[in-house]
A and B are shown apart, each in its own frame.
Chain A
Amino acid sequence: MRTDEELDLVQAAQRGSVEAFGRLYERYYGQMVWLAYAVLLDKDLAEDAAQEAFAAACRNLANLKRPDRFVPWLGRICQNQAYRLARARRNYAGMEGQIDHVCSVDPPAEYEEAVRLAIRGLPVMYRQIVVLFYYDQLSYQQIHQVLGISVNKVKGRLFRARRLLERRLRQMGFE
């Protein structure tokens, strides 16, 4: 995904080209929405966070020292925006505890619903991998670029996320 064309687009945007930034926006908007969704678990909030992330990137793009690191830089901005929104709406702090409470008190009857709850109960660092891998269908390489972590770390986190999901599902009575 990171090509010379992408580097050219970033450099053109740094020179003030709105058109180049528009192409970057169209290319990465979806990934940023999913990235924010992994934190917020809310579609509308995730879109808000992604749009604010692009706005923040727009304002600070001229200061980006390494244009080849545009995507992880943008991803970090998006995550920060998502956390900020989560704090503002007071959704994030009690979310995992709330999910645990639901899981322990009222186990879902359907396997699919149990999986959904288990995913919502994952720590954010694992939920990001699950969302980007299964929902946005990104490859390991693409996730590595978006999150700015190594491919091996992506694989390791996905493996541990699956193990956590299995454990949660077993706790809810699904083998």
Chain B
Amino acid sequence: MDKTQQDRLDQAIARTRPGIEPKADFAAWQRSHPDAVRALQVGVFRTRHTNLRLAFAAAAMVAVAFSAGMYFDRFITKAQMARLQASVTQAVATRLAQDLQLYAQQYGAAALAAANAYTQQQLAALARSIEATRWADRQELTSALQQLELNRLQDLTFIGNSLYAWASMGAQYTDQQAN
């Protein structure tokens, strides 16, 4: 497009300008938009209070979030501990059951035999103890009977000797009287 054509286009565009002559009538606009004017007048106040409210809301949210975080931390810790405890208990129980089963399988028979032998030993010891007690009792009884027999024999000897002495003394006396 050469300069002439461009000028022609520019002039034609300018001639197509619609007959708009915008007239700024602020008073009329104010009358038709009273709420907007009121909003302008209270805008600063509202903004300041909005900022204050936002600050309070933010602080409250931080506090709530912090509290909730603490609570959830504790809750989660407790829950985790409970879960951990349950899992550890379960694992230990399982392991113990396995160990016991293995122990029973490997050493059960030996343990039973050992237990039986021990029991037999204890029973034998008990029997021996009973027998020993009986033997001692019998010994004491025998000793007592022997002592009684010995005492009886001693008493019998003493009585015989006494009677013999008495008889001798009587005979002697009789002789003396006769003489």
Contacts and interface: CB of A to CB of B under 8 A. Distances in A.
Interface residues of A, number: 40
Interface string B1-28: 1000110011011111111101010100
B13 A134 contact: yes
Given A16-B41, A18-B37, A18-B41, A134 B22 contact: no
The SS class assigned to the A binding surface is helix
Contacts of A162: 1, 6, 9
B178 interface: no
B33 A55 contact: yes
B22 A59 contact: no
A115 to B, nearest CB: 4
B10 A22 contact: no
A130 B42 CA distance: 39
Contacts of A165: 9, 13
Interface residues of B, number: 33
B36 A58 contact: yes
B95 to A, nearest CB: 66
B30 interface: yes
A169 B10 CA distance: 13
Given A15-B44, A111-B12, A33 B1 contact: no
A58 B32 contact: no
A26 B46 CA distance: 26
Given A14-B44, A26-B24, A30-B22, A130 B13 contact: yes
